[in-house]
């Protein structure tokens, strides 16, 4: 039975669950297991390789079908890594998910959003996300921001009977609402489900790779037709041999491991960040944060701990005479400061969901008995004050306000100078003021300052090191805070942030976007920033071509978090801030941000490195096929030869390099930079290989195995040289990797079984010597390509 006070009973809930009236929208951090298997198995590359694999199985021998293992490897590794990433994200998503407070059986309990049923009574407070549609049952100064749904920036005051839409969030006040539409019937359910999904798409890196793959796919079609016709004519008496040579020409054109390594690198990044308690709600956020060049921070909860304590209570004006000492340390509600202490305690008690500042006041000054709380104005980030009408035990009634001194008092008021002296020490200051009757001020209501509440916050120990990291990486930091500019500047200056000595009061910022962008770009620290201003400042920076990350934990950060390129929320922050952010720091540690940036840079930088290897192979394979078609020669390789070359000069080194540390700053233009190295490098490799093959044909006069072996030696050495370039700057393991690859090929050349299996046998010394000489010449040309390439593939990490 439903009552306005108690909510549903257990029997009511069971009845609604049986009727399917439950909020069953799955909040997923990834694709389902069948979706993961299908996505990794049924790919364009697997389709191409599968057809070629089938051809070789039909004509044999099995050695030439070894490349088919790539299909299995691509599928298995991709599935395993994504499943690992999914498990990590699912586990973290449970921790980071919103847990509304629901009234059931007369008790208020936190529960998962998916457990809400129709007619549930759900409590609301500042920062709460509205997870289902409903109707307001009771409201106390309840203000709801619906801008994420409607685009309307101003919060809407809600009263009993007003509708609420899922996807909006509470900015001020408290209330209770009745769930009317749950599950997929809710207004924003479909959008919320899509927004919270773990995805492998929509990133600059993957878009570039898909562009390359589409181009390669279309290039393979005419080249493949030419190879089929050419090899059939050349080997008209041996159709199986013609098919083998045709397949050998087509297989290396496909950058089969590039997509796999990209998925693996992203998945490993998710797992690594998961160990640091970072929930990546959208996978491209790893890449996006690596491209960030401006980070906007909130002071409270980021540079300083969210929790505060009352350090001092400074009495002002006539009320101070009643209170006794001029200054009273905050050790509780003593007799000397009873009137002020009582008011502070009552203002704290008047707010059902006090923020961090009010919680500190409540701890220092408990609410006394005998007072009556009348009309209330809930605190909001936009107003920067809250208040209530209080009546003391003697029946005296007055309106009191507690908030920012420079908002409650006019400019130039002497109390503001005193407040600034505290702000210069990095302390937060609240003004307690009594609203004087209009009659005492000539018909205009006045503000009588009564006291300054001085709050202290602990600076996070990791904040200075994190700011230094961003400075070293060329990432600009902007502090956007609702506190006074003087206080924010003092905290930021103490942490060594450049530009903190010139804090800007956001109330003086221009509204015109161009002027706002100029000022935000020039300055570092901003105080008294409202929620909409944070959003406007992020938009102004993005309009100037910056990639902006926004960090925050409060309801006042939600709009900016949503509009930034990357939103980063604290795990202890409001449910609304966590819901719109791409990354959630579950341990609330600002120090985790460098790890996220470094992970993104590792992924992007390493994929760009290995893409040079894969596309160099694609270029020389296409050109070699064209040369063979035009010259009417047999293709110089069998599939088994290219399997060993690709494994030792592409697949194995690329796997290690893709997961190596890399702090190079991400840049746009991925495809262009890769092609500027891969195309000339591919031309050099093709020319050296064709020259070696033609020379060997003159030496061996028809011994196709010997001719192929000489060409294989040249192509391997050129490919190994390319690996040596890509692997720079060298570390001990990179040098060991290059030497191990060379040693592995040497083993194939000297072990009889492997010689027969791969059909590689160097005959005599003339052709092999020339093959090595041509490879050395090609290597020197690769060095020139590297030196004069606009984007060197081995550029050292910055």
Query: Distance between CA atoms of 493 and 489, rounded to whole angstroms?
Result: 6
Of 359, 495, 339, which is closest to residue 432 (Cα–Cα)? 339
**Beta-carbon contacts of residue 255 (< 8 Å; ≥ 6 apart):** 45, 212, 213, 216, 611, 614, 615, 617, 618
Query: Distance between CA atoms of 792 and 211, rounded to whole angstroms?
Result: 21
Strand spans (E) along 639-789? none
The distance of Cα 741 from the centroid of its chain, to the nearest Å, equals 36
Give the alpha-carbon dihedral of 627, 629, 634, 635, to 10 degrees.
60
Query: Distance between CA atoms of 294 and 551, rounded to whole angstroms?
Result: 11
Quick check: helix, strand or coil at residue 633?
A: coil
Residue 790, burial from CB neighbour count under 10 angstroms (0-12, 13-18, 19+): exposed
Please give the full DSSP string across 259-315, using - where no structure is assigned: HHHHHHHHHHHHHHHHHTTEEESSTHHHHHHHT--EEEE-TBTTTEEEEEEEEEEEE
Let me know the angle formed at the C-alpha of 609 by 607 and 612, rounded to the nearest 5 degrees: 105
Which helix (H) or strand (E) segment holds residue 429: the answer is strand 428-436
| Assigned token pair, 24 | 């069953």
Confirm if 181 and 263 have CB atoms less than 8 A apart.
no
Task: Report the sign of the C-alpha dihedral through residues 716, 661, 88, 210, in that order.
Answer: negative
Confirm if 762 and 748 have CB atoms less than 8 A apart.
no
Indicate the pairing of strand 294-297 with strand 304-315: unpaired
Q: Which residue has the tokens 């509470």?
A: 170
Q: Which residue has the tokens 């191409």?
A: 48
Which helix (H) or strand (E) segment holds residue 110: the answer is strand 107-110
Q: Which residue has the tokens 């201003």?
A: 533
Of 349, 368, 360, which is closest to residue 312 (Cα–Cα)? 360
Confirm if 452 and 446 have CB atoms less than 8 A apart.
no
* 298 catalytically annotated: yes
Quick check: helix, strand or coil at residue 9?
A: coil
Q: Measure Cα distances from 561 to 120, 173, 296, 525, 532 in Å.
A: 30, 22, 10, 18, 11
| Assigned token pair, 214 | 């589409």
| Assigned token pair, 666 | 């991400």
Task: Report the sign of the C-alpha dihedral through residues 318, 321, 326, 332, in that order.
Answer: negative
**Beta-carbon contacts of residue 611 (< 8 Å; ≥ 6 apart):** 209, 212, 255, 258, 670, 674, 678
Query: Distance between CA atoms of 113 and 709, rounded to whole angstroms?
Result: 65
Q: Across-strand partners of 654?
A: none
Active-site residue among 145, 298, 337, 565? 298
Confirm if 603 and 609 have CB atoms less than 8 A apart.
no
Query: Distance between CA atoms of 640 and 761, rounded to whole angstroms?
Result: 13
Q: Across-strand partners of 478?
A: 296
Query: Distance between CA atoms of 425 and 448, rounded to whole angstroms?
Result: 25
**Beta-carbon contacts of residue 662 (< 8 Å; ≥ 6 apart):** 601, 602, 605, 606, 609, 797
| Assigned token pair, 794 | 């081995």
Q: Which residue has the tokens 């905050």?
A: 330
Residues in the chain: 798
The catalytic residues are: 298
């Amino acid at each position: 039975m439903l009552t306005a006070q108690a909510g549903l009973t257990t029997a009511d809930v069971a009845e609604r669950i049986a009727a399917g009236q439950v909020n069953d929208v799955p909040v997923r951090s990834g694709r389902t297991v069948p979706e993961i298997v299908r996505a990794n198995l049924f790919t364009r590359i697997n389709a191409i390789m599968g057809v070629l694999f089938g051809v070789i199985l039909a004509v044999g021998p099995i050695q030439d079908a070894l490349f088919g293992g790539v299909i299995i490897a691509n599928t298995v590794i991709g599935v395993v890594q994504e499943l690992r990433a999914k498990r990590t994200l699912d586990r973290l998503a449970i921790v980071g998910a919103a847990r509304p407070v629901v009234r059931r059986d007369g008790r208020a309990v936190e529960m998962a959003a998916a457990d809400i049923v129709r007619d549930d009574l759900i409590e609301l407070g500042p920062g709460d996300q509205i997870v289902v549609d409903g109707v307001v049952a009771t409201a106390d100064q309840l203000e709801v921001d619906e801008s994420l749904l409607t685009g309307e920036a101003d919060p809407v005051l809600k009263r009993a009977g007003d509708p609420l839409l899922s996807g909006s969030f509470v900015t001020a006040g408290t209330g209770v609402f009745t769930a009317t539409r749950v599950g997929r019937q809710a207004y924003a359910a479909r959008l919320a489900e899509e927004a919270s999904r773990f995805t492998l798409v929509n990133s600059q890196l993957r878009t570039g790779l898909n562009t390359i793959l589409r181009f390669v796919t279309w290039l393979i079609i005419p080249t493949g037709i030419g190879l089929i016709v050419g090899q059939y004519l050349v080997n008209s008496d041996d159709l199986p041999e013609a098919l083998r040579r045709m397949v050998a020409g087509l297989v290396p054109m496909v950058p089969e491991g590039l997509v796999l390594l990209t998925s693996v690198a992203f998945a490993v990044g998710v797992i690594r960040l998961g160990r640091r308690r970072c929930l990546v709600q959208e996978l491209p956020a790893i890449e996006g944060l690596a491209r960030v060049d401006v980070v906007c921070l909130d002071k409270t909860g980021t540079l300083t701990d969210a929790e505060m304590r009352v350090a001092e209570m400074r009495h002002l004006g006539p009320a101070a005479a009643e209170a006794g000492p001029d200054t009273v340390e905050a050790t509780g509600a003593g007799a000397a400061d009873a009137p002020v202490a009582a008011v502070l305690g009552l203002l704290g008690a008047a707010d059902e969901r006090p923020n961090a500042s009010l919680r500190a006041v409540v701890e220092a000054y408990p609410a006394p008995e005998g007072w009556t709380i009348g009309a209330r104005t809930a605190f909001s980030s936009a107003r920067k004050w809250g208040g209530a009408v209080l009546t003391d035990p003697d029946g005296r009634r007055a309106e009191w306000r507690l908030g920012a001194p420079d908002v409650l008092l006019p400019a130039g008021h002497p109390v503001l100078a005193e407040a600034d002296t505290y702000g210069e020490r990095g302390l937060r200051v609240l003004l307690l003021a009594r609203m004087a009757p209009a009659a005492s001020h000539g018909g205009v209501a006045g503000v009588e300052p009564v006291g300054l509440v001085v709050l202290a916050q602990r600076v996070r120990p990791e904040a200075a090191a994190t700011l230094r990291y961003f400075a070293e990486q060329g990432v600009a930091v902007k502090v956007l805070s609702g506190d006074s500019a003087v206080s924010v500047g003092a905290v930021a200056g103490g942490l060594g942030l450049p530009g903190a000595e010139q804090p800007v009061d956001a109330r003086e910022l221009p509204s015109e976007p161009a002027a706002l962008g100029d000022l935000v770009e020039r300055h570092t620290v901003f105080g008294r920033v409202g929620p909409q201003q944070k959003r406007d400042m992020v938009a102004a920076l993005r309009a100037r071509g910056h990639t902006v990350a926004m960090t925050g934990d409060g309801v006042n950060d939600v709009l900016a978090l949503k509009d930034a390129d990357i939103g980063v929320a604290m795990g202890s922050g409001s449910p609304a801030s966590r819901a719109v952010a791409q990354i959630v720091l579950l341990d609330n540690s600002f120090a985790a941000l460098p790890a996220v940036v470094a992970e993104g840079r590792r992924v992007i930088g390493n994929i760009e490195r290995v893409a040079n290897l894969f596309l160099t192979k694609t270029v020389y394979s296409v050109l070699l096929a064209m040369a063979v078609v035009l010259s009417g020669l047999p293709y110089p390789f069998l599939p088994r030869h290219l399997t060993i070359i690709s494994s030792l000069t592409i697949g194995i080194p690329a796997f290690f390099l893709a997961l190596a540390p890399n702090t190079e700053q991400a840049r746009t233009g991925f495809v262009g930079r890769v092609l500027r190295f891969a195309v000339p490098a591919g031309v050099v490799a093709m020319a050296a290989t064709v020259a070696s093959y033609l020379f060997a044909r003159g030496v061996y006069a028809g011994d196709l195995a010997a001719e192929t072996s000489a060409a294989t030696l040249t192509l391997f050495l050129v490919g190994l040289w390319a690996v040596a370039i890509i692997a720079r700057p060298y570390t001990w393991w990179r040098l060991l990797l290059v030497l191990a690859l060379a040693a592995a090929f040497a083993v194939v050349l000297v072990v009889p079984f492997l010689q027969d299996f791969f059909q590689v046998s160097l005959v005599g010394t003339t052709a092999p010597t020339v093959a090595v000489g041509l490879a050395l010449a090609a290597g020197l040309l690769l060095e020139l390509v590297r030196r004069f390439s606009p984007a060197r593939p081995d550029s050292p990490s910055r």
